[in-house]
Chains A and B, each alone.
Chain A
Amino acid sequence: MKRICKQTVLILLAILCITSLAFAGGGKATKEKAEEEIVIAYTGFPGGITPFWAQMTQYVKEEAEALGVTLLDMSPTQADAAMQKDSVDNAINRGVDGIIIGAVDNRAFGESLDNAAAKGIFCVAVDTAIDHPHISALAQTDNLASARLLGQYIVDHTPTKGKALILGGTLGHQTGDARRDGVRQVLEANGFEVIFRACNWDDRLAYETAINELGAHPDIVVVFGAWDPGALAGLAAVKEKGLMNKIKVYGFDGLPPAIKSIQNGELTATIKQDNKQMAQVIMRSLVAQIEGQETVKKLLIDGFVIDSSNADQFAE
């Protein structure tokens, strides 16, 4: 009898846990979707990985609230393309009206987007382009142009030509490739020898790669990290090697830690991405499409250089 009571209590406890988790999600699932309610799923890089994506999630939520639509944050907990594809599939089955994808890897979604198209669910991309006909809008930094801008800045601020180390994202990732190409084109055109290493957007790998390359190539004069945390990892390697007076380090994103580093005279410059504008534009575009209105389909936002001359303006 005692055992039966114990087991009953355990089963009730399990049921209680699951239902309380439902309410942890805002209790939205318990009510049926209202006739006019627009439900949008968002899946980006996990916010814990980089402040850029933590901010992006926040801006997307704020814009959803401003537009009066329900937002489900279905971002994976790891920067894992398979997990993100699963979250898109779950959103499709859940019957949302639209999905915003900040792709961990832009190559992972073919089949899922076909399914979304078959079910009439609008899909848009933010930050990273996804090459699929069902992606109906894109808001991102003009990575190629911004990287060229930074490349020119590097050329102008590096009197001694030498080797430049690029710590890149994942090879084949649209955003990472554009940043690599933009900086590389300008540097090579101006007599630099470029060493490119793909670091999969992994800060640890960026640090280890930088340490190894700095050891192997004593004539490196520039380190460019294709994302700010990667650039800061490169900076740590430069510091550790005692090469701060010889090597200039550059980033891309314009995140608070990078700006602080510029203020401290460590990082030389970074490109500021306007992720708030990206979030606003893509959310408005998606809602307009769901409501059957004409809207912006592609927005390329210009990045700009933050260095010691204007870092204070952007410091939080």
Chain B
Amino acid sequence: MEKKSTMPRITSVVLSRMRKEFQPLLGLLIIYAIFAILSSTFRTLDTFKTILTQAVILGTLATGSTIVLISGGLDLSIGSLFGLIAVCTGRMFLLGFPVALVVFFSLAIGAACGALNGAIIVGTGIPAFIGTLGMMMGYRGLAELLGANRDMSQFPESFQMIGRGYLIPIGIMVMTFLLVYIILSRTKLGFNCYAIGGSNEMARRGGVPVKKYYIVYYTLGGLCAAISAIILASRLNFTNSSWGVGLELNAIGAVIIGGTSLTGGVGGVGRTVIGVLIVTTLNAGLSHLGVSSSWQRISIGAVIIFAVWLDIMQRRREAKG
């Protein structure tokens, strides 16, 4: 009798797990299919490549946010940090730095600023929301100071290659996804990310050096912001200090749409890929349907609410057993 009742329960748990994992993917496929049916110009290879290219900036940025959110943190400063790195990149070119050094220092600045965010949060004990809000303003101000009254454009040809076309930027995005996927699923750093996000206190009691790990997660977030900013600077061939305004919320939105929880401990970079693709597919698809960009924003807002609501419903069901 016991065997009979256990099997359906296991099947039900597996099915529930699979549904949870594949729900965002199913959502993406449905959205893509609807646009493909409604618009003949949408179902072309060029449009598909454009969607992937448009996903690059948000995708690399959101990858960093995924790590931070899974660890139970929040980084509101990445949009401003994005602007600051863009300005630093431009300034370094004005100073005559070679391309390799510019890229290296830009990445280093991103990582250092991310580490600073983490250090401020764990060092002072102030909530991540407040700490990174303060840094958001600080980085933006710094970007304005460094970028003021300077024309930062016409970068070297070899730098422009980074963001040009489809292959290199998409390749960088895929590499970033893969690296973070490996970190999260195959390393102690990743396992502890879920443990800390699930319960900070339990992880600490279990001997995990939580503060040290937090700094590492924020550092990775800053590094991803730097990769993203470098790609855009090379793609547009200029920079200015206004870049990245509101981008942090777009990144967090994409991560949430993918199914990573805002409360930490749950999620993954695979989900973020899907979340980012949902956002870019919606933008591109609605453009093909002639829908204004204001309506595009409204629809993405609705999708975020819908995704979080689904997440809450699922948690409630799980809590009920």
Contact = CB atoms under 8 A, between A and B. Distances in A.
A72 B237 contact: no
A196 B236 contact: no
B134 interface: no
A309 B291 CA distance: 44
Contact of A78 (B44, B46, B150, B245): B245
Given A22-B289, A25-B290, A73-B292, A17 B299 contact: yes
Nearest to A208: B144
Interface in A272-305: none
Contact of A198 (B34, B148, B238): B148
B289 A29 contact: yes
Nearest to A29: B289
Given A18-B31, A107-B236, A205 B144 contact: yes
Nearest to A83: B293
Nearest to A13: B306
Contacts of A90: 50, 283-284, 287-288
A197 B147 CA distance: 11
Contacts of B293: 46, 74-77, 83, 87
Contacts of A196: 149
B176 interface: no
B41 A21 contact: no
A111 B46 CA distance: 14
Interface in A1-40: 11, 14-15, 17-19, 21-22, 24-26, 28-30, 32
Interface residues of B, number: 56
Interface in B49-95: 50, 53-54, 57
B297 to A, nearest CB: 6
Contacts of B299: 17-18, 21
B41 A111 contact: no
Contact of A25 (B291, B297, B306): B291
Nearest to A199: B148
A261 interface: no
B302 interface: yes
Contact of B306 (A14, A19, A74, A171): A14
Interface string B224-239: 0000000010011110
29 contacts: A14-B31, A15-B30, A18-B38, A18-B285, A19-B38, A21-B299, A24-B291, A24-B295, A25-B290, A25-B295, A26-B290, A29-B289, A29-B290, A77-B297, A82-B232, A83-B293, A90-B284, A90-B287, A93-B46, A93-B288, A94-B39, A105-B240, A108-B237, A111-B235, A171-B149, A172-B152, A196-B149, A197-B149, A202-B242
**Top 3 A-B residue pairs of the complex, sorted by shortest distance between their CB atoms:** A25-B290, A172-B151, A29-B289
